[in-house]
Amino acid sequence: MSTRYILALDQGTTSSRAIVFDQAGNIRAQAQKEFRQIFPRPGLVEHDAQELWSTQLGVAQEAITQAGLRAHDIAAIGITNQRETVVIWERQSGKPIHNAVVWQDRRTAGECDQLRAAGQEDLIQRKTGLIIDAYFSGTKVRWLLDHVPGARERAERGELAFGTVDSWLVYNLTGGECHITDATNASRTMLYNIHTGAWDDELLELLQVPRAILPEVRPSSEVYGETAEGLLGSRIKIAGIAGDQQAATFGQACLKRGMAKNTYGTGCFMLMNTAGEAVPSRNKLLTTVAWQLGGERTYALEGSVFVAGAVVQWLRDGLGIIRSSHEVEALASSVPDSGGVYLVPAFVGLGAPYWDSYARGSLLGMTRGTTKAHIARAALEAVAFQSAELLEAMQKDSGAALTELRVDGGASNNDLMMQFQADVLGVPVVRPRVTETTALGAAYLAGLAVGYWHSTEEIAAQWQEGQRFEPAMPEDERRRRLTTWKRAVERARGWEDAGA
């Protein structure tokens, strides 16, 4: 087994990727291909499901070839995917009945308003750990069944299959043999009871989703089937599945209660391991399945920041004060601090713990001495402040005190931001040596299932620190900065509503 490798398929929101890992968790080869983003109307986001499949298969073949390997050198395949995105296809032909409806799509916001008005919020949160939002899969499934001609009748006859992107990939990889999902992806649908570990009849009736179209829910690490003949040269076991943020948490080896990771991408996604306890949030966080190994589910609290790396894109494209995203760290470092400037990047409202869709971006504390460098620094600090508020909510909900925050994602390579993050958290921030943690998590789950790795303890021992940022800010200054940040947020809240 030691001369063999694991192939991770990472099907994201903008590209399909494939990475070959060795037994030490190092990257042997990787390939990536972007695909089209389809915007039928403002607020609507779709993908061509066939293109998701063809690009994912193409990069899988390319990564194996780049590594100088053949299919028989691959011990197993692990899959990680953009979560909540919905595909419905014909069981007989394997053809989708509509484009995939993407997690960012807001077409079902009105249905969500109706569910809230009908008093269903408590029921849904109690069973699923989620808030009612168009972000999740359930209302998207209902929309497709109601708006594609004949779909609902065909679904009830068992002619159609629903899946999140992991299900769609496995169905195609196995030549239609497997219609499955794992517990992490199921837990993002608003149809799955995270306590019983099963699709919930009451939720299915509420959202008018026929049981006949649902995939079978399986553990996150298990041999589900094999790739069909002719796809990759010879048949390879498919043995691991997890949604992208859960996979990153596993790849970061946050395997014990109280351990947390933050992924800095377009937005930020922070997950804290709460072990076998599905902790209900009193601070508007999400309770989600982190992974399931055998019959044992591990849970997490999750918080999301809508605008993180996107604030740097705004500095570049909106304000024009930098030409490329890479310039922001040098510009922000040219001043010792933000000069009292606070930027609240509520360009699309605020996520956890506020969930204020009427908040709007605000730039506060400027004087005649304010320069573009102060604004750039305030933008980076805003990402850290937002993440600090998520962590504060998580610690209140879980009762677990954080000892360090593990970080990944593109913006985690910004040393200035990571140092400030450590300062405002008051705990060390640690960037791993291998930062492709999402794909690595999927690889680990697949490898565990086939004996490539033998235990979670072995995986935890593989995790290696790349760089550690120790908090250096005095406690009184940290408190003062956080208090001022919260004042700035209050000035940004309810702006569109109040100004209308």
E-only strand ranges, 383-500: 405-408, 429-432, 465-469
Residue numbers belonging to the annotated binding site for sn-glycerol 3-phosphate: 13, 83-84, 135, 244
Q: What is the DSSP letter of 400?
A: P
Residue numbers belonging to the annotated binding site for ATP: 13-15, 266, 309, 313, 410
Rounded Cα distance between 412 and 384, Å, is 11
Do the beta carbons of residue 114 and residue 177 sit within 8 Å?
Answer: no
Residue in the structure block whose two tokens are 């809508």 = 306
Per the DSSP assignment, residues forming a β-bridge with 76 are 6
Q: What is the DSSP letter of 44?
A: -
H or E element at residue 475: helix 475-492
Read off φ and ψ for residue 358, nearest 5 degrees: -100, -5
H or E element at residue 393: helix 372-398
Helices (H) then strands (E): counts for the chain: 17, 23
Residues of 486-495 as b/e, b for ≥16 C-beta within 10 angstroms?
eebbeebbeb
* Cα of 229 vs its chain's centroid, Å: 32
Residue numbers belonging to the annotated binding site: 13-15, 17, 83-84, 135, 244-245, 266, 309, 313, 410, 414
- What number of other Cβ atoms are within 10 A of residue 196's Cβ? 9
Rounded Cα distance between 428 and 126, Å, is 34
Do the beta carbons of residue 471 and residue 422 sit within 8 Å?
Answer: yes
Rounded Cα distance between 154 and 450, Å, is 38
Name every residue whose Cβ is closer than 8 Å to that of residue 173 and which is 6 or more positions away in sequence.
57, 77, 225, 227, 228, 231, 238
Residue numbers belonging to the annotated binding site for ADP: 13, 17, 266, 309, 410, 414
Determine how β-strand 260-264 pairs with β-strand 405-408: parallel
Rounded Cα distance between 366 and 378, Å, is 11
Token pair for 204: 């299915």
